[in-house]
Structure formats: structure tokens, C-alpha cells
């Protein structure tokens, strides 16, 4: 039951901070590229390279978001940090598994990455957007 359909950006994903929306967009683009290329290049090296790129974007984004939320004294800051940390740890594990060829198939890996980002943006990130009054209207 792995959902491997491309992620379609909509207004629902906006967190009301243009810089973060841009970064989320960039991350979704990488994930969609990974999803699109899985048929043609299912090799673990390719998956691992893409995850590597994704990790770099993700890391930069997590740092920016955490700094912003710290500055605003966001009430669920610790949950945000823990969630980001879980993604970092799991991605490292999955990269390692892909390199050692003990993977979980690339489909499972891609489904994890896709699912984590969609849920994280729509639930955790949208929560700070609402609580900090960043959304229009
Ligand atoms: Fe976040
Ligand atoms: Fe985010």
C-alpha cells in the first residue's frame, strides 16, 4: 500500500512564510524526481544519491525553521525538533541500508520519505503557521 504518486502542491501546503514555502517546494521537487525516476533507475546508488541531496536541503530547512520558531517562542518547538530529528535519523539508516544493499526496497524507502514530508508539512508545520498567525485570512 505504498503511495508513490507525485506530490501535488496546493495552497494547503503553505505555512505563510515565503522562504519556507520555497524550501518545501524544493524538497517536494526532489521527492517527485525520485518518484519519477524509480522505474528507470531503481539502483540503490541512485536512490542513495538522491537521498543525499534531499538530506542537504532538509537540513538547511530544519535549521532555518527551528531558528525561526525559537525566536517566536513557539509552544511545540520541542515536538518540531524531535520530528526533524526522526527524519534525519531514519534517512541516514535508509541511506546506509541502500548502500549495503540490505534495503527495504526503494519503494518502501520512497514511500517513507513521501509520506513523512506530506504529513509533516500538513500537520506539524501547518500547526505553527496557525498558532503563530502566519496564514492569511
Ligand atoms: Fe518542520
Ligand atoms: Fe518545514
Question: Concatenated DSSP letters for 11-65?
Answer: GGG--S-HHHHHHHHHHHHHHHHHHHHTTT---HHHHHHHHHHHHHHHHHHHHHH
Q: What is the pLDDT of residues 34-49, one digit of tens each?
A: 888 876 655 656 676 7
Q: Is the pTM above the cut of 0.85? A: yes
Q: Residue 4: inside a domain, yes or no?
A: no
**d(CA 2, ligand 2 centre) in Å:** 23
Q: Residue 8: inside a domain, yes or no?
A: no
Residues with CB under 5 A from ligand 1 (ion): 65, 125
pLDDT at site 41: 57
Mean of pLDDT over the chain: 88
Q: Residue 11: inside a domain, yes or no?
A: no
**d(CA 20, ligand 1 centre) in Å:** 9
The domain tally of the chain equals: 1
pLDDT at site 106: 72
pLDDT at site 64: 98
Q: Residue 121: inside a domain, yes or no?
A: yes
Which is higher by pLDDT, 17 or 33? Answer: 17
**d(CA 46, ligand 2 centre) in Å:** 25
Give the C-alpha separation, 125 to 105, whole Å.
29
Where does the pLDDT of residue 70 fall: very low under 50, low under 70, confident under 90, or very high at 90 and above? very high
CB 91 within 8 A of CB 30: no
Q: Residue 71: inside a domain, yes or no?
A: yes
Domain span at residue 117 reads: 17-131
Q: Residue 97: inside a domain, yes or no?
A: yes
Q: Residue 36: inside a domain, yes or no?
A: yes
Q: Residue 1: inside a domain, yes or no?
A: no
Q: What is the pLDDT of residues 75-120, one digit of tens each?
A: 999 999 999 999 999 888 877 776 776 655 577 788 899 999 999 9
CATH of the domain at 67: 1.20.120.50
Q: Angle at the Cα of 79 (from 77 to 84), degrees rounded to 5?
A: 95
Over residues 59-72, mean pLDDT? 98
Residue 137: is its pLDDT beyond 90?
no
Amino acid at each position: 500500500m505504498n503511495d508513490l504518486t507525485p506530490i501535488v502542491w496546493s495552497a494547503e501546503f503553505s505555512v505563510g512564510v515565503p522562504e519556507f514555502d520555497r524550501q518545501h517546494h524544493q524538497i517536494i521537487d526532489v521527492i517527485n524526481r525520485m518518484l519519477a525516476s524509480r522505474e528507470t533507475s531503481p539502483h540503490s546508488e541512485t536512490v542513495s544519491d538522491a537521498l543525499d541531496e534531499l538530506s542537504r536541503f532538509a537540513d538547511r530547512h530544519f535549521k532555518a525553521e527551528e531558528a525561526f520558531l525559537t525566536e517566536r517562542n513557539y509552544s511545540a518547538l520541542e515536538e518540531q525538533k524531535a520530528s526533524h530529528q526522526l527524519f534525519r535519523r531514519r534517512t541516514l539508516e535508509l541511506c546506509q541500508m541502500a548502500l549495503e544493499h540490505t534495503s527495504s526496497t526503494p519503494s518502501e524507502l520512497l514511500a517513507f520519505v513521501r509520506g513523512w514530508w506530506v504529513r509533516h508539512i500538513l500537520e506539524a508545520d501547518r500547526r505553527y503557521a496557525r498558532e503563530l498567525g502566519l496564514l492569511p485570512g
